[in-house]
Amino acid sequence: KHRKAQACCVQMATCASTQVPGAMVLWLLVVGTLAIRVDSSLADAGVAGQLPPLGKQEHSDHRVIVRYSEMPPGDLDTTEIDKQIQKLKAHPNVVRAQSLPSLGMAVVSLDSAEAGEELMETLQHDSSVELVVPDTWVSAFDLFAGGDSPLDVTAEPNRRLRSQHALPVQCSAHAACRMRGLIGDCCPAKDGMMLSCCSSPGNDLVALQTYGGTYVSASPDGAISQIAGAPQDSEIFEIAFHEDSGVSFRSLYGKYLTADAQGVVRADRAVVTHHEKFEMVEDGNGTVYLKSSFGKYLGAEDLERITADRTNASLWERFRVQPQAVPGQRLPDDPAFSKLWGMHSYHGFDIDAPEAWQVWTGEIGKGITVAVIDTGIDYNHEDLSEQMWVNPMEIPGNGVDDDGNGYIDDVHGADFANEDGDPMDDQMHGTHCAGTIAGIGNNAVGVSGVAWRGVRLMALKFLTSTGSGRTSDAIRAIDYAVAHGARIASNSWGGGGSSSALRTAIERAEGAGMLFTAAAGNEASNNDEVPSFPANYDISNVISVASTTYLGEMSSFSCYGNSTVHVAAPGSGIYSTVPNNGYETLSGTSMATPHVSGLAALVWMYRPQLSMHQVRDIIIGSVRTLPALDGKVITGGLINAKDALEAAWAFDPPNPPAHAPQAIEFEDIDPRIGAYGGVVTITAAADESDIDYYRVYMVSGAGFQLEAVGEPIPATGEPELTMELNASFVPPMYARALVAVSGRASGEMPARLRGLAPHVDIEDYGLPILGPKSVSWIGDPDTKKDFVNGSLLVERATDEASITTYNVYWHAESGARGPMLGSIAAVGFLEPVCSGPSCGLINMSMADDGAYVFEHRPYGDMEDAEIEASGPGNVELTYFDTEDYYDKLTVADMELSGNYTGSLPYTMQLGDGRSSIVWTSDESIPGNGWSFQIRQEGSMAELKVEATKVLGSGFEVVPAYGKNELVSDAIVVEIFGEKGKSQSKGAQGGKRRLSASQPSQSGRNRAPAQKKPPLTSAQAKQQKEPWLRQLDLTSRNSARVVWSADQVEQLSDVAAHHGRVRSSFTVAGLAEQACTLPATRVAYTQALARQLPGVEESGVRLVRVLVPPLEELKDTAPQERMGTVIVEFEIEPSAGAHITDLDRIESKLILLSTSHRAADEFGVALAVALKASGLPPPLHSHASSSGVVFAAPQQLSPKMLAAALPPDAVTEHPGNRRLRGSASPQYI
């Protein structure tokens, strides 16, 4: 009973403990809540004599992510995910299993952490499973205005602005020009776009708006006045920054603004002296004060003129500096554009968006879909609604999953956090990011995104209103984005450790051609040393983004990394859209990332033929280098929209064949539901002069490429080419058609439904497995001659999983089939059926009233069974006595354990669809057993026949799947025989017959999902801490290092090829003098090697041992306090390791960081190792707890490891190239 005693102590520890690491708190709370709910239910039952209220109870949702092996198409019959889902559902304690077909994965929800561990152990022996990874949590990366924001000067009040960094003036020094081999001063492009890269930039043009809303105006004679209305030539000044931090303003008449000692302001000086220079001081409200050389402030209180005679600044001394367009720029008319310093700023440290918009805004492009994987988007926002992606296969508001993708009314995306098709933002983070990517430009409303028009924003919500979410839900969002044609995924989130499941999802999205932008993180730490995921994944479709300020500096909060962070973008004080037609200023790498996503969309719409990798190379290669970013990001630069468009012109796009195959044919001949087999026939192109091969792809209902079918077929000159699918394949959930494309070495034709490539819809030739149990007729002939009235009653098949309709035909006395009378839709009915090793021990019978009776009295050890049945209906509990807490009967969402005999009978409802009743028992103490009855509704179906002309002697009822009928299971009932007695009709040889028409399925209505209202700015500011990733930097930085591995280690061959996993564990209760002894370190190493799969002691590298400050251990028991240490370590697999072995190690470390039981098992192994070394085991205040807590692991690629070592410690290893679930190589 050791495990049981452990669990009981966990419950008590949960109530008593007040300070444990965050990951442990989450696990303890989940387990504690479950235990307390069960125990309190039993207590209530014993006192009140009745069960607590049942119904839908909150289920403890523990998840694992299953990663399936990638197999050649011929082997898909046994390994395809949709086939495996049914196997997963058969495992005990599995609440839900969902396939992610576009990524080759599945997400499995279980009712306990222990069940998750057991499933992981079971699936490790399944050859079709590559890896099982525990789920983790991530969060949004943003901060509310503060620190570096131009709207907040609390950190450095009255901060002066400094001059802009000069750009290179030679073509050879500019990336875009150098890429095209240009030299000289200015170079026109072939398409007429002028490149200004080779000439020095002129100063920006601005207008000075007063507090009263008027503009400072200069006349030709130098007089200064105030003018209402939009600024014209007289209200526009050229702003210049000087080395002494002074700012000057030159009117378009060539004269500089000046102020004399008496406060008179004019614009009549042709040269700049100290009188023409002003000190520009921010006031924290988006406006500035201008102080003259005499220490007086410019003011506009006099409504006719401007003076400079105030020593103290008030409201009238505030001015707003509004950028104005210059030749080569295009500015939008959006009223808040002047607040978008990241797009255009007189400081000069923007992305040069107006210069890019002069060339391209996306308004006349073909469009592109950008998936915003975040907290959702307010798709009704005035500045976003016209840019929202619309699912072409979904009918809005009809309550039906029209496209069959598992989500009802997913018109603008889907909500994976709440399991529905409504991705409305109930936070604000995702809407803010969306506005920066593609807020509608030049519409005189709000703000402008990087891409004015043409972007289709796909809202994929996986973060809740708190800003946190599950890794598994992020993976589901990526799967949806790939299947529905998103080319770019914008990801302003991260946190925790690494997850090989998420990395593999991103790699497989790369295979589909998706660009993945990721926020670097907000911990102000070096990602080369402390990784932040997903930004740190070394995958060639990822762009990691840091944040900059309006002064061209790295934002104080931004993560950085000279080897791991690619580019920087504006992220401090970014103004954008928020829900309910609002606008807010936020800061964070979350705000920087959408600038990159929007730029990628702009570039890709400008040159749609570019590949994903070319778009990525363009963005990375066209940055503007800044001194503050040197050594902080790989490129040392800030993204530049103008230079990116120029570079896009220079790239050679993919060059696919111009000729396409003429036709494709395919007919499924596999009778199994969901499996396809047969011969694909391609009619070759009329001209194959530019074609090397043909390839067949599956495409989604939205028309976008999914995965390939079979191998490429060489172009041989034959008019027809065939590909025989010897073994059936199971298409992804979203697949709707096959497309044949042509290809050659320089490119492949895109696989789209709308294009040159021919397609054929795939229609499943599946046959029902079962037919109706019986058919009867109740009715009489109509009063009119040869007419009939009545009801045809059909007793549904015992399992309707393979039936869509029961087709009803007239039946002639000769045995021939007459015309169709109608059809009855299947509802997924399932008679109760038991599966599992213990079903033979359960007595099953039928009561007189038709109820199904299940009885098991008494029961034994280690039993496992699942009874599945469809609703609506109910389960009536008639007897129940089991060992409390450990022997459980779970009915739908309700878990029963203990003795309920005093509260019976008790009835629980079964909802629509299929429900499971799961029975499990453990070892030792059994109870007396249980019994219950299941009553189902809907087993009989009725087809009313009203005043219908007689066209035969009876009716024939045939089960059908789509248009395919199982005639062998048809039943005939005569309406003029012995009172409608049914007769069975068998068909010869089971020959398939096709019905005359394909039955339609009616939709059903549902109430719209209820979402939480969006957070207000004040609420969001209060709630920001829980959903920002918080590393334990304070604790770790304040901890005292008591031992470290001081030698510089050269990378082993294994680490250089595969990488390592880094983590740490905290252990309490060690003898203080023994914490760092060599023998203790050997025990640490031995315990880790024994607990981690495929690891030898030589693969364990201890990095440091630290002692946390005593003040952080104030709630720890005295005997543990002095012996608490943090052990940092790195792990590499054994020599000859498989590519997935490091992922398995990471997966085990995730389990150790989230599972109390797994951590305790390690604690036992550590105690054994210490004892073997002659050292005392740790002392603990709770006998059931080992006192060990693991941190989330971080998988380090060989590139990251090499970057962290001195150059002489890195050995070049040939062939450092690897594949991780993707067709694209990852270079080290």
- Indicate which residues carry an active-site annotation: 374, 429, 590
Between CA 380 and CA 265 the distance in angstroms is 48
Between CA 732 and CA 738 the distance in angstroms is 12
Q: Tell me, letter by letter, the H, E, C secondary structure of 407-460.
A: CCCCCCEEECCCCECCCCCCCCHHHHHHHHHHCCCCCCCCCCCCCCCCEEEEEE
Q: Residue 197 has which token pair?
A: 């890269």
What count of other Cβ atoms lies within 10 Å of the Cβ of residue 1133?
27
CA atoms within 13 A on the CB side of 378: 25
Between CA 812 and CA 487 the distance in angstroms is 58
Q: Position 342: which residue type?
A: G
Look at residues 1190, 962, 991, 957 and name the one whose alpha carbon lies nearest to residue 1091. 1190
Q: What is the DSSP letter of 42?
A: H
Q: Position 890: which residue type?
A: T
| Strand intervals (E) in 296-375 | 297-299, 307-310, 319-324, 368-374
* End-to-end Cα spacing for the chain: 50
List residues bridging with 1075 in a β-sheet: none
SS3 473: helix
Angle at 732 between CA 609 and CA 511, to 5 degrees: 35
Q: Residue 206 has which token pair?
A: 């601005």
Between CA 864 and CA 1091 the distance in angstroms is 28
What are the Cα distances from residue 767, in Å, to 823, 969, 987, 995? 17, 11, 14, 13
Between CA 115 and CA 92 the distance in angstroms is 8
Burial class (CB in 10 A: 0-12, 13-18, 19+), 509: buried
Between CA 268 and CA 579 the distance in angstroms is 48
CB burial string 690-701: b at 16+ within 10 A, e below: bbebbbbbbbbb
Look at residues 667, 662, 713, 659 and name the one whose alpha carbon lies nearest to residue 690. 659
> Contact, 771 vs 805, CB < 8 A?
no
> Contact, 468 vs 429, CB < 8 A?
no
What are the Cα distances from residue 1037, in Å, to 8, 1109, 1126? 36, 10, 12
Look at residues 389, 466, 382 and name the one whose alpha carbon lies nearest to residue 423. 389
Cα 259 to its chain centre, rounded Å, is 57
List residues bridging with 97 in a β-sheet: 108
Compute φ and ψ for 485, nearest 5 degrees: 85, 15
List residues bridging with 868 in a β-sheet: 833, 916
Look at residues 835, 879, 833 and name the one whose alpha carbon lies nearest to residue 858. 879
Q: Residue 929 has which token pair?
A: 């057993």
DSSP one-letter string for 1162-1180: HHHHHHHHHHHTT-PPPP-
> Contact, 898 vs 42, CB < 8 A?
yes
> Contact, 176 vs 646, CB < 8 A?
yes
Between CA 232 and CA 694 the distance in angstroms is 60
Q: Residue 333 has which token pair?
A: 């008319």
Q: Residue 1120 has which token pair?
A: 């543990």
Length of the chain: 1228
